[in-house]
Amino acid sequence: MAKVDEPASSAGPVQQAEELTQAAEARAQLAVSPELVAGSVPEYLRASLSRIRAGQVGILPVVGGLLLVSVLFQSLNSHFLTAGNLVNLLVQAAVFSVLAMGEIYALLLGEIDLSVGYVAGLSGVVLAELLKPSGLDWPWWAAILVALLVCAAIGVLQGSIITRLGVPSFVVTLAGLLFWEGMMLKILGNGGSVLISDTVVNDIASGNLSPAAGWVVMLVIVGLFGVLTWRRDARRRRAGLVAPPTGLTALKIGGGLLGGVVIVLICNTDRGRILPIQGVPWVVVLVFGILAAWTFVLGRTRFGRYVYAIGGNAEAARRAGVNLPVIRTVAFTLCSFTAGMAGVIYASRLRSISTAFDQTLVLYAVAAAVIGGTSLFGGRGKALHGVLGGIVIAAIANGMGLLGLTAASQYMVTALVLLIAVTIDALTRRGRVAGM
């Protein structure tokens, strides 16, 4: 029987619908990026506040968590916020941060990659084997290149199995986790380890820029950021689009400069115990570089847009003509490739690679991305989240180490932080769904 709707006879439903529409409108206003509707800086701040109250929290939880952790550890051990420890913390965080930036590619698709930890390990093994002076004795750049290419190939392989054969990424990368760990052990031999004596590779994690070079690099990075931000906002104003007020653009650039100055000041403080050590570690610059590159790829390119689209609604992306298998495979490839870079940093920090590879890295990669604010449900997240999440995890490990607490309690605390982060993710997601 065909459904024949009668026109609404009473005003009741109409009124109700009006109320619903108004409620939806109020929510819609909250969801707008504040910089797009605000005409002045105070308006911007007000709009931001109402967004936060509505549950659109962005990176606030992780920044808040970081402040909390810092205050807590500083009050328990005054050594925590010294320049030397902070720089140490940044270096410790580098491996977690870079791994998490890789993991974000899988998470954005709504998938997961459990293999990143051992892909990183394998990258370190390949690097160390190629550099062995008694063996192949390759130049550092060739060894790093091949290590990264091996990881990219692993990504292509895993990504192809996931997309072409339709095997769930959880299973494929779980198999990858076991397989690449086995491969690592096989190459290293029972209880084996390979030392790295190449100075360039070791300097990645342990070398510092000279204080002057640190300032120059920082000014170049902030300058680039400033020019790009300014030009983008100016272009929007020229095109007659809603643009953030000039004051806000200046504020953003000023904030970037302030952050840069603080980091360089901390790093340039002498932190040596016996001999003077100062300067920005290379690895910090490297992490910034990866962050900038992946932020660009995800935010400003077609590929990045499609990664978000697939995570948001794969069927919609497919109907829009997006080649799902290709985009997914490339994302998994970039994920493993980035894990390879984390492996190089890891091996460089230890100046060796051994079968005592840190197994917690495997899950810390996922944990760091999620703690940083990337959604496990796909479609929401940024490269920056990986960096921040990595710093949180490193801060917990570092702070608890300072307090002389064991690995056991570190695990438990990290687990609680992860649980809180996932809960925030689930709650804000529920808020968004209910908000429809």
For the segment 311-370, give every residue that binds other proteins (CB under 8 A): 311-313, 315-317, 319-322
HSE-CB of 206 using CA atoms within 13 angstroms: 16
Give me the least distance between CB of 307 and other proteins, in Å please: 11
Does residue number 262 form part of the binding site for other proteins (CB under 8 A)? no
- CA 261 to chain CA centroid, nearest Å: 22
Binding other proteins (rule: CB under 8 A), the pick from 191, 240, 272, 404 is 240
Does residue number 434 form part of the binding site for other proteins (CB under 8 A)? no
For the segment 156-175, give every residue that binds other proteins (CB under 8 A): none
Q: Which sign, positive or negative, has the C-alpha torsion 134, 140, 142, 143? A: positive
Say which residue the tokens 């290709």 belong to.
326
What is the Cα Rg of the chain in Å? Answer: 24
Task: Say which residues have a Cβ less than 8 Å from residue 51's Cβ, sequence separation at least 6.
Answer: 30, 31, 34
Question: Which of the stretches 113-121, 147-155, 273-281, 299-307 binds other proteins when contact is defined by CB under 8 A?
Answer: 299-307
Does residue number 28 form part of the binding site for other proteins (CB under 8 A)? yes
Give me the least distance between CB of 86 and other proteins, in Å please: 35
Burial pattern 259-272, b for ≥16 Cβ within 10 A else e, equals: ebeebbebbbbebe
Question: Which of the stretches 22-30, 85-93, 96-104, 268-276 binds other proteins when contact is defined by CB under 8 A?
Answer: 22-30
Binding other proteins (rule: CB under 8 A), the pick from 178, 213, 241, 419 is 241
Question: Which of the stretches 25-33, 189-197, 248-256, 348-356 binds other proteins when contact is defined by CB under 8 A?
Answer: 25-33
Does residue number 21 form part of the binding site for other proteins (CB under 8 A)? yes
Task: Say which residues have a Cβ less than 8 Å from residue 94's Cβ, sequence separation at least 6.
Answer: 205, 283, 284, 286, 287, 342, 345, 349, 390
Give me the least distance between CB of 36 and other proteins, in Å please: 5
The rounded distance, in Å, linking the Cα atoms of 23 and 17 is 10
Residue 343 CB-density burial (10 A; 0-12 exposed, 13-18 middle, 19+ buried): buried
Give me the least distance between CB of 217 and other proteins, in Å please: 24
Does residue number 7 form part of the binding site for other proteins (CB under 8 A)? yes
Does residue number 40 form part of the binding site for other proteins (CB under 8 A)? no
For the segment 371-400, give every residue that binds other proteins (CB under 8 A): 379-380
Does residue number 224 form part of the binding site for other proteins (CB under 8 A)? no
Give me the least distance between CB of 110 and other proteins, in Å please: 10
Give me the least distance between CB of 242 and other proteins, in Å please: 7
The rounded distance, in Å, linking the Cα atoms of 382 and 296 is 10
Give me the least distance between CB of 233 and other proteins, in Å please: 11
Cβ neighbours around 146 below 10 Å, total:
17
Query: Tokens standing for 417?
Result: 């932080």
Cβ neighbours around 125 below 10 Å, total:
29
Q: Please report which residue ranges of 301-382 form alpha helices under DSSP H.
A: 302-319, 324-350, 361-371
Binding other proteins (rule: CB under 8 A), the pick from 308, 363, 376, 413 is 308
Question: Which of the stretches 199-207, 283-291, 302-310, 395-403 binds other proteins when contact is defined by CB under 8 A?
Answer: 302-310
Query: Tokens standing for 103?
Result: 């993991």
Give me the residues that bind other proteins (CB under 8 A), please.
1-8, 13-14, 16-18, 20-21, 24-25, 27-33, 36-37, 235-236, 239-242, 296, 300-302, 305, 308-309, 311-313, 315-317, 319-322, 379-380, 432-433, 435-436
